[in-house]
Structure formats: structure tokens, C-alpha cells
Amino acid sequence: MRTTVGIIGAGPAGLLLARLLHQAGIASVVLESRDRAYVERRQRAGILEQGTVDVLRAAGAGARMDREGLPHDGIELRFARRRHRVDFPALTGGRSVTVYAQTEVCKDLIALQLAEGGPLLFEAEALAVEGAGTESPRVRFRHEGREGRENVLECDYVVGCDGFWGVARTAVPREVSRVFERGYPYAWLGILADVPPSHDELVYARHDRGFALLSMRSPSVTRAYLQVPDGTDADDWADDEIWDELDRRLETDDPQWTLRRGPVTAKSVTPMRSYVHEPMRHGRLFLAGDAAHIVPPTGAKGLNLAVGDVVTLARALILLRDKGDPGALDAYSDTCLRRVWQAERFSYAMTTLLHRAPDATSFDDRIQLAGLDRLTTARSAETDLAEAYTGFPLDEQDRPQQDRP
């Protein structure tokens, strides 16, 4: 089997890249180790930045998102029993975010790919990327749909969208790789519940007992999170205990607000980590999404960073084909990493501002409260949060002239 671009992984990054290339008339093949049902039900991120929404619409994948997604013009910060709303459009010149789950993004892109795009092979496990430093890279893979036989996909370029545990990153030689990472001593206990959300926007709460986040999946489904110690088993928490703890951490002096409770349909624990692999390119192998970087979920950046990566790569491949100019492709790693590190900075700042470390002192508590007070009283600080939350430019050509080096 031969194609121009071999894509490993049918998450949002791989699927969107395939769609963008198809629109440009560039052939691709997508290999996904899981079956379609698994890809369409795995729960991941649910906040789409303004730029991500715009890209999905331009790709022809925005119709259902526009019907069913929930546009949000702000978030609420809670601390010391206070409530403060951050108004995104007022601070960013009109930008906002949309609540639309990654599972739904994948469903939309899969339907488009199967109807219009190149091959999308489910249950096709990538075994290795070979020849990344040559002009003829290849992907060895095993396709369960063909009696588990080993196959080879020959490509002009290979893109690893196969996540942290995938094989693509291992094809980058250790001697040229640099890894930057940080672990956190806490995790998120997340729930889905069949009850309408208790607030029409996301609520981020800093409390002496730990962080809490009130979110949603739809007008009838609540998504909520609690900070818990790293290594917590979700089954150790009874449903009533979770609701009681959310009530405590979200408490305010506003008697009009109450937490709505309902049947918990799913529970899970998400570990917290920051990770960046440099470079994001080796030869004709390109890394995108979680294969290259991971952020703690506090800043809602993971899915959006992946979108930024593949938009940058698609534009570079189109420029090379149309103009014979390899400059953008050669700059892929540097271009993406500027945005990645800004997202890492923002996610780290949000995480450390809102979560209480196990060894936190009274001094640490006051520093957090001072930081939150600054955010809610200084327009410049609030603007920085709003601009970061609604999205950094997708690549160099989208950056304001005054922000360019």
C-alpha cells in the first residue's frame, strides 16, 4: 500500500489532518489500532477554542457542532466564597469557546472520512515507523480486518497522531530527542451525571479542601471534577460523597445558587502531568497532539493543541506542493513548539493557582488567594487569562504582527 501521507491514529488530530489534506487534494491513509466503536465513545476533552471551531467549520465538520455544541462567553472563578465571571468577548475582541465533546468531533470527522476521504483502517495496529530519516518512510502495521497479517504502508511523509504510548515517537533517535516533563501529586476524579448543569458556564473553584470544576456535556448532562490524591481509585468514592464534596468546594455567599444532584452514570480518575518532546519532527516523520505534548486538563488545551499542530502541518504540505517552498515544513517543529510552550505555561499556571498541594502551607494558600484576587481586579491579568483560554494563534501567520519575533 502506498500514499503521500501516512497518518497513525484516528483521534481528532489524525482525522482532522486527513480531512484537511483531502480538501487540498493530497492523498492519505489513516491507521487506527482500535475499532470504530471504541474511537467514537472514548471520553476526552470537551472545550473547543475559537480557532478550533473555525477550523472545523472550514473543514465541513461544523454542522452538528453548530446545532448541538454549547457556545460559552466566559467562565466563573470561585474562591474564598466569592464568585467572579470572566467575560471572554469583552476581553478578547469577541472570541469565545464551545462545549462539544471530543467523541462528537471524532464521530463527525469519521463520517466525513468514510464518505469522502481516503482509506481509514480501524483495527490496524502500527508496529513501527521505519526509514524516518530517508525520503521513503514506511509504517509496518497489523490489520485485524485482514486476518491479522502484517502489512506495509509506504509514504512520502508519516505523521504520528498516536498519543503518548504510540510507536511514532519511538522512531525519533534518542540522541536528538529532548524531553521536558512534570508530574503533579494530585489527579481529577471526574463524573458524568444525568442532571442539568447547575450553572450555564464552567465554574473553576479553589478551596482549602482542593480544586473543583463544574462543567457539562449537554443541557441535560453534568460533567464535574474533584481534585483527589494521585493514585485514587474512583470506586473508593460513593456517589453521595462526591456530591457532598462538590457542594463544599463550590460554596459561595450567594444564596441564589445551589448544586443540582442526579444519578452518576460514569466515574473515572485522570492523572495530571505536563510533557513536551522536542523536536516534533525527525526527517519525514512528524509528531502531533499527545504524541508530542501533554498538558494538565485545567487549561482545556490538549485537543486544541492537536488541532494547531495539524493545521500547521497541512498548510506546510500544501505550500510545498503548490509553491515548491519547504520553509514552512522545515519550521514545523519550531512553529508548533512556540504555541505548545505558551499552552504549557498557561495550563501550569492555572493548575498551580487552583489546586492545593498536599504539603501546602498557609503562605502558599495566601499566595494563591492573592493571585486570584489579582485576576479578578486587574483587567490586564484577566485579559491574559481570557486570551489564553479562548486560544493562541494556530500558527505563525495567525499571530498579530506586534507579537511576532
Let me know if 297 is a catalytic residue.
yes
Give dist(CA 83, CA 61) in Å, integer.
Answer: 36
Please state at what angle helix 379-390 crosses helix 332-354, rounded to 10 degrees. 130
Give dist(CA 235, CA 268) in Å, integer.
Answer: 9
Please identify which of the residues 184, 204, 225, 332 carries the catalytic annotation. Answer: 204
Please identify which of the residues 72, 143, 293, 355 carries the catalytic annotation. Answer: 72
Q: Are 200 and 328 in contact (CB under 8 A)?
A: no
3-state SS assignment for residue 91: helix
Q: In which element (H, E) is residue 340 found?
A: helix 332-354
Let me know if 389 is a catalytic residue.
yes
3-state SS assignment for residue 98: strand
Give dist(CA 114, CA 119) in Å, integer.
Answer: 7
Cα angle 324, 57, 113 (rounded to 5 degrees) comes to: 70
Please identify which of the residues 12, 293, 297, 332 carries the catalytic annotation. Answer: 297
3-state SS assignment for residue 48: strand
Cell numbers standing for residue 206: 479553589
Let me know if 323 is a catalytic residue.
no
Q: Are 335 and 396 in contact (CB under 8 A)?
A: yes
Let me know if 72 is a catalytic residue.
yes
Please identify which of the residues 225, 301, 332, 355 carries the catalytic annotation. Answer: 301
Give the chain's largest Cα–Cα span.
Answer: 66
Residues noted as catalytic: 72, 204, 297, 301, 389
